[in-house]
Amino acid sequence: MTNEYIFRAEKLNKFFGPTHANNDVSISIQKGEIRGLIGENGSGKSTLISLISGIIQKDSGMMFLDGEPYEPKTPLDAFNHKIGTVVQELGLVDGLPIGVNIFLGRLDMFNKNGVIDLQGLYKAASEHLSYWNLGKFPVQNLASTLSVEEKKMVELARALSVNPNFLILDEITTAISLNNRKLLYSIIEQFKKQGKSVLLITHDLEEIIKITDNITIMRDGVVVDTRKSCELTPDILKRLMVGRELSGSYYRNDWEDQYEDDVVLSVCDLTVEEHFEDVSFDLHKGEILGICGLSDAGIHELGETIFGVIKPQKGSIYFISSNEKIKVKNSIHARKLGIGYVPKDRDKQALMINDSVENNICLPSIEILQGPFGYIRPAKMRKLSSKVVNDFEIKAKSISQYIRGLSGGNKQKINFARWMNEKVRILIMDCPTRGVDVGVKAYIYSVMNEAKKQGLSIIMISDELPELIGMCDRLLVMKEGKVVKTFYRSSGFTEESIMEVMM
Amino acid sequence: MKSVDSEKSYSLGKFQERRFLVSRYDIKKLLSVILIIIPYIIFNIFTKGRFMESSNILSILVHAVVPAFVAWGFCFIFTSGIMDLSIGAIMILACIVSGILAIKIGYFGLILGGILVSFALEYINLKCMIKTKIPSWVFGLGMAMIYEGIGALYGASQLKLGKQVVSLGVTARKLGSIPWIIIVLALGLIMAYIIFNRTSIGFDIRAVGSNREVAKMMGVDVTKAIIRGGLVGSVFIGLASAINESYAGRVMPTTGLNSIALIFIPLAVYLLAQAFEQIFNLTVAVIISSVIVESLFNILTILGVPSGTWQQVAVGACVIVCGVLAQRHYKGVVK
Amino acid sequence: MRKIFYVLLVIILACTLIFSGCGSSSSSSKISSTTTPPSQKNSTTANKKLKLGFNNFLKGFYSLDILEKSFKATADALNVDTMITNDEGKVEQSVQNVQNMISSGVDGIVFFGISDTLFPVVSQKCREAKIPFVIYDHIPSDKSMEILQQNPYFVGVVGEHDYDAGYPIGEYAANQGLKKAIVVTGKNTDTTHSARVKGFTDSFTKAGGRVLDVGWGNTTLADALSQTDDLLTAHPDVDCIYATGGDFGSGALQALQKHPNVKAKVFVTDLDPDILAGLKAGTITAANGAHWVNVDFATILLVNYLNNHPLRDSGNKAPVVTVPVLTLPNNQVSLYQKFWLNNEPFSVTELRNLTVPWNPNVTLNEVKSVISNYSIKSRLEEKQKEGLVTSDELKKAGIIN
Amino acid sequence: MKKGLWSSYQRIFPFISLILLIIIFSIIVGPKFWSVDNLVNIINQVVPLILGGAGMIFVVTQGGCDLSQGSALALVGTIAAMASNSLGFIAYFPVAIFLGALIGAFNGVIVSKFKVQSLMVTLAMMITLRAIVVYITGGQVIYVSSSVLLLDNFAIKISIFVTTMAVMYYLFEYTKIGFYSKVIGENEMVGIYTGISVDKYKILAFMISGIMAGIVGALTVGRIGGVDPAMGNFFELQVLMSLFVGGVPVTGGAGSKIYKLFIGALILSVLQNGLILSRVSAEVSELVEGIILIGVVFFTLYIRSKFIQVQSAGEN
């Protein structure tokens, strides 16, 4: 009997302590189906995927693969059942060659008399990469030589290397550039043609509607609904995800350049080798300045350089306040001057995930909190963090809870909110809404808007054009390390016109 | 900056540039070999050719064998993030047992005793460490105390009989002398190189050492990898013990964590090798740094530099300088 | 909730403090009863077995362990209890352990000081606690001795001058016509080894020889082996190797075998089984040592003191007794093995004869004369009297003709 | 409420093992264990461990380790003693502190600016500094003046201890030095991306460790009555042990607390003292010590893992 479902899960349950992360989750995926999975942060999507790919074990329920009962104990089990997974925000083993990374965990297939045939492995890896058209990688080089996006592509190659019948992609598109996205779509298309299935998770609602056949929506650990993609619009999806009606647009609704004439930050001829060259611009008081570009346009490095984390080879950054022009020396100096930075990689660059909410919130403000003899009063710290938690509606059990236990959106709120102290005049935000659900997104935008009105200047670096278009007063488009065009809000910008410059 | 039109060839161009970097990398390798050799030639002139005498080079190699084997053991144990300080105490026990067995059944006993003891004790260590989740630092210190205590008990029991701890005398001494010791060194290098670079044990342990979480996701059984790697390492430690016993003829037990002093030089060798890792393969780097350290002692002795003081200062300085040189362009986080 | 726990904690701590107050008052009264000046002591401790403290500087080190063994044998012979501590090779622990022994209520301490500066400190501690102590093996410098002599609880010193261990070897080697020597030794901060090296160097250079190099800093046999190897490469023309310790001797000997072109004679201080084997085989030309009997006599001095019979020098000073260093010819090796390493050189009766309960009128001179008569010959003759050794064996060893 | 209870258990557990040890030894050893002599004795042993640990904790909290502390102690002690012999006692502590800071600064600069692993640097420094001590003393005995010997006086020692620890406690728990050290230990990248001078605080941590080694060195010279080049041998391991036994995480970070150091050092000292007083033979005592220490750490961790299970509830 042929089975029309490739994968079926029945009443899966998973608890983390008292939290019911997956509550009677049932999902069936047909052969040749491209399924989208969507939900807010913390709705249980990642838990479901971890269960399917054997990273964690279910508490109760059943899974079937091709009609057979399926109980993966380890990720290796999943590979052996031809399930390929690309997990969100993980990456590769930096200390091993790219080729080995692709086959790690299954190296024994190259075993020749107890020794691994590396030549054969590298050859297989290159052939595999070129088969899927994923680009030419020097497979014998260490994975640490790759950029974030290249790593993601290798991860994809790794998932494909098990020749999967069922491919699971968790938030892969946010990390990769447009050209690679197109490649990904074509791979998905190819899967469909071969009668294989894909489960795709993304926060990009338009994308998910465009490329999937059906979309399953999860909320609070429960599957809310599964609908045909062609019947859906982003607004319906949003409503289903959040469970209530969201106002039509969470972006700014004015179309004017609203900022004062005072320049607060001036960037002159900034150059960082291999990333960008001769970048100059001024940032005004109360302005939201957007910076966009393709993945290797150098936009993220520009942000890091302005904050002083990367030392430029040439050029300088001036902080201007009341006719004083101060050259920003490094990140320490920048913070002292009142420049804040919200990094792209929350868990690795921004937050101490094994520390309390309190300490994370107080981190940039410690020097403001300290009294005579450098005394930091614990009560002051508690007060500040309670205030931030209340003001920003951060869902934490208490301020002493570990960050690890919070959802991505709440993490990002902390990452962002802690810079909202009285000293910060300029805030550099790198992908402020990456991997964050719509509710938190809307919240962050509204806070940005509010802060802008108070006179805060924001540099907003992002891969997502809609949010830049929605929020920025001015938008710098970068290409291959150079600023190629500046758009003004008043003169209007559309995705098409920006894209044209970017590509 | 780069100016290539299509994105595809753009990314290709980038990789080609990396390939160019690779060849620069080879030049770097060559340069560092030269950098290591030049001072040796200079020293040779200073020592009136005595340093480069074949017999002296051989004797340096002989001295480098035990630290190299121990450091290879570290490659498999420490790389996965286990800092086991009880290895010194394990070595003492392994030496004693291999000595006892060697007297009874010869070379077979010598090697078997060393490997068996270090294998068994390391297995106990790793199992308990993983089971109890005690940080390896503390666990190693605690186990070092326990193993030292066992060694001391044995020493005391021998003393009661009017004997010292087991001494090989003339039996089973060939393993610790030329040419066997050199052959064993070569075999050890091949073994370490192959296991570390060409087997799933090696790759798994490197994956776990590099990024435990990712390795787990990629289907590596972390616990198994650590134990398998640790056991391979323990074989090297066991071999080191057997060679040491055969080389020195007798190893005394000690107390009060003094056994840890036994692994300071191998540890320095291992850390030095890690510093060279960007240029040489780790297992090869082990032997290079082991020879560097031992020849440093040798040269300085020949030059008449007082031992116990300036020689140690020179070794310490060498370790720091090599560390600094190796990390020159490193940008990441260092603990 | 947290606060409640803290309160509980404070209460517990307070309780323990109160406890400690009670405990200390009772125990301090005990201490005062046992540590009253020696004159009144006899009455209180007559029926109690004495308890002596002893510190082993590093358990596992052969020559230190054998001192401990000697001490235990003597203590058994004299019917006293022992408390043995391990300093783990740490100077601080030496002081700490003296205090630990005092807390544990020992009646006297047999102390080994690795460093000369330890003596005044330990003297001070013992004086405060009113515990008598005796020093063995290492003889304090004149400066420290001055301080020690002011302490009424200082019982005496029995040891040997390490200088005197190295000196005769140097003399002996020079007499054999050897001219160029290397020395293999331990850390040059260890007074034992540095004194031996100095003794050797002095006598050897006086006789016209030259010490080419000293290999410092060894702790194990393997260290000494590697270092001697290097030293022999540096000085292939050497004709004499002196090792200041048993392990170093074994190491040096093995290194020498790796250099067939080097013709050198090996001399060792410290007599351990390996060195004895070497002597027997003739690979070691001569070896000497003090045979670790110093601790026996140190214990005797202390037990006499505790039995209210302090042995004092002229001028009522605590005595300093030096044990002669013996040189062992290779024909006596097997007897040495039998009576020194497998057994104690002094019999129980001999030891008891020098101690108060058995010999109430023992004098310092008696003890001193036994020590100054101490030689391999005299010991073996004594063993013959006890019937443990035949005259044939002695003849073979060249003791009697 | 339940969570609060667990968190308290976690806090309290090391205390419990300490108290258990004390009770067990009180029974085995009897009233001698509680004699004033012996309490002073234990305190004497604890003081250097805690002082050294108070320096080391900054480095460990940042995720590094300072193996050179023992050798630094010896070198500082030696030079300070020589300085006090030639310049008078006034120079004793300033020289010790200055030199300790200097050694620490060297370690710190190599670790932070040149990005060499702290284990490697301090291991090399451990070998090097010890060799320098041996060279300086040259096998000669260096005696010290009576004022230095006075440092072993209980009251003076305790007052030095209390003042130093008050400063250290303040620095670690209530100033940005401590706070940033914890940040660096938790995630160094976070420090870099929030504009903390990571290098500066690393150097500072090693300097504090060096200074504390200097102070301990000064006290040690007083305790052993002069300079001995072997002093402080394996001191760093004892200190690391007391930190880890007390529950300071090996990887550093927010779990580091000064009170844990106190407990760890006390457990270690009570254990050593108790075993000696129980007259366990030296060979066996080390064995028993090892087993008990591993046991204590295991139970502490066991309780903590229970705690974290409850804590991380709600994690997705």
pLDDT at res. C335: 85
pLDDT at res. C15: 56
Residue pair A378/A362 in contact (Cβ under 8 Å)? The answer is no
Least confident stretch, A420-434, B19-33, C302-316, D143-157? B19-33
Q: Per-residue pLDDT tens for C319-367?
A: 999 888 888 877 888 888 888 888 888 888 889 999 988 888 888 998 9
Q: Token digits for C333?
A: 């090796």
Q: Per-residue pLDDT tens for C14-57?
A: 555 445 444 444 333 333 333 334 444 444 444 578 999 999 98
**For residue C397, which of C314, C333, C309, C327 has the smallest C-alpha distance?**
C333
**β-strand pairing of A457-461 with C265-269:** unpaired
Contacts A76 to B, Cβ<8 Å: 219, 221
Total number of domains constituting chain B:
1
pLDDT at res. B20: 45
pLDDT at B129 over 60: yes
CA distance B13 to chain A (A): 10
pLDDT at res. B308: 78
Q: Output the average pLDDT for chain C.
A: 83
**Residue of C189, C190, C211, C220 to mutate when probing chain B, most B C-beta within 10 A:** C220
Contacts D250 to B, Cβ<8 Å: 135-138
**For residue D70, which of D103, D118, D106 has the smallest C-alpha distance?**
D103
Q: Which domain holds residue D130?
A: 2-311
Report the chain D residue with the minimal C-alpha distance to residue C53: D279
Domains and CATH numbers, chain A: 5-92+146-242 (3.40.50.300), 247-338+423-503 (3.40.50.300), 352-420 (no CATH)
Of D131, D240, D288, the CB nearest to B137: D240
Q: Is D54 exposed, middle or buried (0-12, 13-18, 19+ CB in 10 A)?
A: buried
Q: Per-residue pLDDT tens for D74-88?
A: 999 999 999 999 988
CA C400 to CA C393: how far, in whole Å?
9
Residue D316 lies in a domain: no
In this prediction, residues D297-309 reach a mean pLDDT of 75
* pLDDT tier for residue C2 given thresholds of 50, 70 and 90: low
pLDDT at res. A208: 86
**For residue C113, which of C128, C126, C104 has the smallest C-alpha distance?**
C126
pLDDT at res. C242: 94
Give every CB contact of residue D197 below 8 A, 6+ residues apart in sequence. Answer: A332
Interface of B with D in 124-153 (CB under 8 A): 132-139, 141-146, 148-150, 152-153
Of C88, C231, C254, the CB nearest to B255: C88
Residue B35 lies in a domain: no
* pLDDT tier for residue D228 given thresholds of 50, 70 and 90: confident
pLDDT at res. A397: 82
Sketch the domain layout of chain C as residue ranges: 48-160+292-328+349-373, 163-289
Total number of domains constituting chain D:
1
Q: Token digits for C39?
A: 């004159």
Q: Do A352 and D309 make contact, defined as CB atoms within 8 angstroms? A: no
Q: Does C150 lie at the interface with D, CB-CB under 8 angstroms?
A: no
Q: Does B200 lie at the interface with A, CB-CB under 8 angstroms?
A: yes
Which has more pLDDT, B120 or A221? B120
**For residue C270, which of C204, C205, C340, C215 has the smallest C-alpha distance?**
C340
Q: Token digits for B84?
A: 């086991």
Of D175, D193, D254, the CB nearest to A376: D175
Q: Do C1 and D5 make contact, defined as CB atoms within 8 angstroms? A: yes
pLDDT at res. B335: 61
pLDDT at B43 over 90: no
CA distance B256 to chain D (A): 8
pLDDT at B58 over 90: no
Instruction: Give all strands (DSSP E) within A141-229, no chain letters.
Output: 166-170, 197-201, 214-219, 222-228
pLDDT at res. B146: 94
pLDDT at B82 over 80: yes
Contacts B330 to D, Cβ<8 Å: 115
Alpha carbon dihedral B124, B126, B130, B134, in 10-degree steps, equals: 90
Residue pair D308/B170 in contact (Cβ under 8 Å)? The answer is no
Q: Does D307 lie at the interface with A, CB-CB under 8 angstroms?
A: no
pLDDT at res. B189: 94
Q: Per-residue pLDDT tens for C100-125?
A: 999 888 999 999 988 888 898 899 89
Q: Do B152 and C343 make contact, defined as CB atoms within 8 angstroms? A: no
Those residues of chain A that have pLDDT short of 50 are 1
Of D118, D125, D283, the CB nearest to B152: D283
Residue D195 lies in a domain: yes
Contacts D39 to C, Cβ<8 Å: 20, 24
pLDDT at res. D59: 95
pLDDT at B278 over 80: no
Q: Mapping DSSP to helix (H, G, I), strand (E, B) and coil, where does residue B252 land?
A: coil
Three-state SS string across chain D, please?
CHHHHHHHHHHHHHHHHHHHHHHHHHHHHHHHHHCHHHHHHHHHHHHHHHHHHHHHHHHHHCCCCCCCHHHHHHHHHHHHHHHHHHHCHHHHHHHHHHHHHHHHHHHHHHHHHCCCCHHHHHHHHHHHHHHHHHHHHCCCCEECCHHHHHHHCHHHHHHHHHHHHHHHHHHHHHCHHHHHHHHHHHCHHHHHHCCCCHHHHHHHHHHHHHHHHHHHHHHHHHHHCEECCCCCCCHHHHHHHHHHHHCCCCCCCCCCCHHHHHHHHHHHHHHHHHHHHCCCCHHHHHHHHHHHHHHHHHHHHHHHHHHHHHHCCCCC
Q: Does D253 lie at the interface with A, CB-CB under 8 angstroms?
A: yes
Q: Does D282 lie at the interface with B, CB-CB under 8 angstroms?
A: yes
Q: Is A2 exposed, middle or buried (0-12, 13-18, 19+ CB in 10 A)?
A: exposed
Q: Do D31 and C141 make contact, defined as CB atoms within 8 angstroms? A: no
pLDDT at res. C32: 38
Q: Do A46 and D314 make contact, defined as CB atoms within 8 angstroms? A: no
Q: Do C96 and D149 make contact, defined as CB atoms within 8 angstroms? A: no
pLDDT at res. B19: 44
Residue B95 lies in a domain: yes
Residue B269 lies in a domain: no
Candidate ranges A165-169, A468-472, C281-285, D167-171; pick with highest mean pLDDT = D167-171
Q: Per-residue pLDDT tens for B96-112?
A: 999 999 999 989 999 99
pLDDT at res. A463: 77
Q: Do B210 and A141 make contact, defined as CB atoms within 8 angstroms? A: no
Q: Does D196 lie at the interface with B, CB-CB under 8 angstroms?
A: no
In this prediction, residues D7-35 reach a mean pLDDT of 81
In this prediction, residues D26-50 reach a mean pLDDT of 89
CA distance C374 to chain D (A): 31
Share of chain D above pLDDT 70, in %: 93
Residue B252 lies in a domain: yes
Subunits close to C (at least 3 CB pairs below 8 A):
B, D
Subunits close to B (at least 3 CB pairs below 8 A):
A, C, D
DSSP state of A348: I
pLDDT at res. C131: 93
CA C221 to CA C86: how far, in whole Å?
22
Which has more pLDDT, C210 or A246? C210
Q: Per-residue pLDDT tens for A131-152?
A: 888 877 888 888 888 877 788 8
Contacts A135 to B, Cβ<8 Å: 8, 11-12
Q: Token digits for D112?
A: 């932070």
Give every CB contact of residue B217 below 8 A, 6+ residues apart in sequence. Answer: A55, A75, A87, A90
CA distance C87 to chain B (A): 8
CA distance A451 to chain B (A): 34
CA B285 to CA B274: how far, in whole Å?
7
Interface of C with D in 71-100 (CB under 8 A): 83-86, 88-92, 94-97, 99-100
pLDDT at res. A249: 64
* pLDDT tier for residue B150 given thresholds of 50, 70 and 90: very high
Query: Terminal CA-to-CA distance of chain D, rounded, Å?
Result: 22
Contacts A111 to B, Cβ<8 Å: 200
CA–centroid distance for D248 within its chain: 11
**Residue of A77, A96, A111, A178 to mutate when probing chain B, most B C-beta within 10 A:** A96
Interface of B with C in 153-212 (CB under 8 A): 155-156, 159-164, 167, 169, 177-178
CA distance A304 to chain B (A): 14
Residue D145 lies in a domain: yes
Contacts B164 to C, Cβ<8 Å: 62, 272-274
pLDDT at res. C3: 57
Q: Output the average pLDDT for chain B.
A: 84
Helices (H), C207-287: 221-234, 246-258, 273-281
Q: Which domain holds residue B71?
A: 52-260
Report the chain D residue with the minimal C-alpha distance to residue A331: D195
| C48-160+292-328+349-373, CATH topology level | Rossmann fold (3.40.50)
CB pairs under 8 A between C and D: 157
Query: Do the two chains C and A touch, given a threshold of 8 Å on CB pairs and at least 3 pairs?
Result: no
* pLDDT tier for residue B242 given thresholds of 50, 70 and 90: very high
In this prediction, residues C72-81 reach a mean pLDDT of 92
pLDDT at res. C292: 78
Three-state SS string across A24-93, please?
EEEEEEECCCEEEEEECCCCCHHHHHHHHCCCCCCCEEEEEECCEECCCCCHHHHHHCCEEEECCCCCCC
CB pairs under 8 A between B and C: 132
pLDDT at res. D71: 94
Of A76, A90, A294, the CB nearest to B219: A76
Of B138, B310, B334, the CB nearest to D117: B334
For residue D81, the domain's CATH number is 1.10.3470
Q: Do B198 and A179 make contact, defined as CB atoms within 8 angstroms? A: no
CA B92 to CA A104: how far, in whole Å?
37
**For residue B270, which of B221, B213, B209 has the smallest C-alpha distance?**
B209
| C163-289, CATH topology level | Rossmann fold (3.40.50)
CA distance B279 to chain D (A): 16
